[in-house]
Amino acid sequence: MARGGINKALVRKARQTILARGENPSIDAVRVELGNTGSKTTIHRYLKELEDAERGRDAASIPLSEQLANLVSQLADQLTEEAQADVAQEREQLARERLDFQNQARLAESRTQQLESQCSGLTEQLQAAQHALQQEQQHRQQSEIENARLLQANRDLEERLKDRDGQIRSLEEKHQHARDALEHYRQAAKEQREQEQRRHESQVQQLQLELRQLQQTLIVKQDELTQLNRDNARLLAEARQLQKDQHAQQQLLTQKAQALEVAQRSLTGMERTNDALEQRSNTLQAEVARLGERAEVQAQKAQTLQERLSEALLQLKLIEHSPLANGGADSHEPLPGPEADTP
């Protein structure tokens, strides 16, 4: 079936145009002339029908041998054209299949990416679900533990309630005993209050008697207080005079304190001077001691010299009174002796 409005008349017109140009009206040439439209199989079929029609018109005037040759040539051309048409059809089919394959490959790649994205999302969802499941399991374990703890606490509470019921019964019994004891205590307290009231009335009477005595004593004490107030006024006047005298004494004491402070300062200065003098005295005493030691040394030396001088004088006197000295007295003058006061 022709596609795109291709019919036998259009194929005939295109074939005649190609023949008019002196070209071979092949399938590709006719298709190009038709504007690259139409199936090559359809064009080949129309061309064959047109060629068969022309051969039928020319067959009556052509010899048999030439007709056979033409027939063989036509068969060969037809086979060639059919082969070319088949090849072209196969190429078109291959191109369509290749295009379909490429489209399918792109679609598959896009689908693969989409599936990978979905897989990644599903992986994340799976991880989140696993995490949530793990948390849920942990919560469940905690809930089970908490449930077990609550059950144990409930059992413990029931035991405690039983114990508490027993305690309540015991407390009720004790409360009853306490009420009995309280009633007994109230009765005893009533009797005791009555006794204390009677004793209190007696004490009140005693206190009233003591109060009258105290009032009389108070009157006496008020008189004494009046006298004491008078004495206090006198003593207050004396105290004021004493305060004046004390103030004067305080001023005098202040003056003496100031004088004492001045004297203390002078004494401090004198102590400092005394310390300096004492240091000077110590220095002088050390110097005197040193000079004394030197004087003792000089005295010892002087005594030694005195002793030597005395020995020399004694020897000299002995020499003067010796016979040798007397015999030579005429020829020799006497040696001058030392003065009597020479040490």
Who has greater pLDDT, 138 or 1?
138
Residue 90 lies in a domain: yes
Q: Residue 132 has what pLDDT?
A: 85
Residue 102 lies in a domain: yes
Q: Which two tokens stand for residue 152?
A: 């144990």
Looking at the predicted structure, is the pLDDT value of residue 62 above 80?
no
pLDDT in tens, 111-151: 888 888 887 888 888 888 888 888 888 888 888 898 888 88
85: exposed, middle or buried (Cβ count in 10 Å: 0-12, 13-18, 19+): buried
Chain centroid to Cα 189, Å, comes to 69
pLDDT over 70 percentage in the chain: 85
Residue 77 lies in a domain: yes
Residue 79 lies in a domain: yes
**Euclidean distance between CA atoms 269 and 276, whole angstroms:** 10
Structural domain boundaries, residue 103: 8-117
Residue 179 lies in a domain: no
Chain centroid to Cα 49, Å, comes to 101
**Euclidean distance between CA atoms 118 and 106, whole angstroms:** 18
Residue 328 lies in a domain: no
pLDDT in tens, 283-338: 888 887 888 888 888 888 888 988 888 888 888 888 877 655 455 444 444 444 44
pLDDT in tens, 196-206: 888 878 887 88
Residue 314 lies in a domain: no
Give the total number of structural domains in the chain.
1
**Euclidean distance between CA atoms 68 and 71, whole angstroms:** 5
Q: Which residues make Cβ contacts (< 8 Å) with residue 7, sequence separation at least 6? A: 46
Residue 22 lies in a domain: yes
pLDDT in tens, 3-41: 456 888 898 999 899 999 888 888 999 999 999 888 888
Q: Residue 232 has what pLDDT?
A: 74
- The pLDDT mean for the chain works out to 80
